[in-house]
């Protein structure tokens, strides 16, 4: 990378064209936005998702070269994903660990242990299972990038969402540890902490919390927005542009960081 100032968006985000990238849960929400954005910038994309309909939507919208039904908590599914990506793309330059679930809403004495384990498995263990398959491919490529999706809940305690918040705090620790471990191999590792993201998932979370408190969904939504300095939700494409920056030459010396894209969530 040269010392001259970039003169265009293409130069500023240099190095994305031709990158071989795996995105988990790439068929909807943030994953869809990331896949569409990176494909538009010339990257070659492999995705997985647990929804066949979401995979179909992605195939139509940005044409990933690999689009597999896979659960990131299933080691055999993860193996199939990375075998297909390596075979089709010819290697790997980046992993976007995006898959996650909202988990249960309730007091700690109300949460079913099965629901707790499922949330931790998807949001944290799934990232480990994908990273362990991605790292040998990234080393073989001479370096690359891993972006792990955490959350504003990985920075703030989140009452009544303890499984989710615990998993997302774990993602931050996982990210910092991997950045130290993999830096000597030229592999950058960062976490993104999205805030209140527009879409069906947050609508479900708000609805569940509103039901607990006995208030309307509209009132609960306003309570959430009052805790955001910019008083608005975040678009999935705001997160996607941060991913593009981290994978580009502009982000070549950014590693071990937890980057909030949330309008400044003050508390949860």
CB atoms within 10 A of CB 11: 15
The residues pairing with 192 across neighbouring beta strands, listed in sequence order, are 149, 259
CA neighbor of 154 nearest in space, from 33, 268, 255: 268
CA neighbor of 135 nearest in space, from 75, 95, 165, 89: 95
Catalytic residue (one of 62, 158, 160, 164): 164
Q: HSE (CB half, 13 Å, CA atoms) of 185?
A: 20
Q: Which whole-number Å values give the CA distances from 22 to 57, 131, 177, in the listed order?
A: 17, 11, 21
Measured CA to CA, the distance from residue 24 to residue 226 in angstroms comes to: 31
Measured CA to CA, the distance from residue 174 to residue 205 in angstroms comes to: 25
Measured CA to CA, the distance from residue 158 to residue 122 in angstroms comes to: 18
Question: Given the DSSP bridges, would you call strands 66-69 and 44-49 parallel, antiparallel or unpaired?
Answer: parallel
Phi-psi region of 29 (alpha: psi -120 to 50; beta: other; left: phi over 0): left
Question: Given the DSSP bridges, would you call strands 66-69 and 94-97 parallel, antiparallel or unpaired?
Answer: unpaired
What is the DSSP code (8-state) at residue 30? H
Does residue 164 have an active-site annotation? Answer: yes
The continuous run of DSSP H or E covering 57 comes out as helix 52-61
Measured CA to CA, the distance from residue 149 to residue 169 in angstroms comes to: 11
Active site residues: 164
């Amino acid at each position: 990378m040269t010392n001259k100032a970039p003169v265009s968006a293409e130069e500023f985000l240099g190095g994305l064209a031709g990158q071989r990238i795996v995105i988990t849960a790439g068929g909807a929400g943030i994953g869809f936005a990331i896949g569409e954005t990176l494909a538009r910038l010339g990257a070659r994309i492999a995705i997985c998702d647990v929804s066949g309909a979401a995979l179909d939507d992605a195939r139509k919208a940005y044409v990933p070269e690999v689009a597999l039904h896979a659960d990131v908590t299933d080691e055999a599914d993860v193996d199939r994903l990375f075998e297909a990506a390596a075979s089709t793309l010819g290697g790997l330059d980046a992993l976007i660990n995006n898959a996650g679930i909202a988990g249960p809403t309730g007091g700690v004495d109300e949460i079913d242990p099965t629901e707790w384990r499922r949330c931790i498995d998807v949001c944290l263990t799934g990232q480990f299972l994908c990273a362990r398959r991605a790292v040998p491919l990234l080393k073989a490529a001479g370096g690359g990038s891993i972006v792990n999706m955490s959350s504003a809940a990985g920075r703030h305690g989140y009452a009544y969402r303890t499984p989710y918040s615990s998993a997302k705090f774990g993602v931050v620790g996982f990210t910092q540890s991997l950045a130290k471990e993999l830096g000597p191999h030229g592999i950058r590792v960062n976490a993104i902490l999205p805030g209140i993201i527009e879409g069906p998932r947050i609508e479900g979370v708000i609805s569940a919390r509103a039901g607990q408190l006995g208030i309307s969904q509209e009132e609960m939504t306003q309570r959430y927005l009052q805790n955001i300095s910019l008083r608005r939700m975040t678009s999935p494409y705001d997160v996607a542009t941060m991913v593009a920056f981290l994978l580009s030459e502009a982000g070549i010396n950014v590693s071990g960081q937890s980057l909030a894209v949330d309008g400044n969530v003050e508390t949860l």
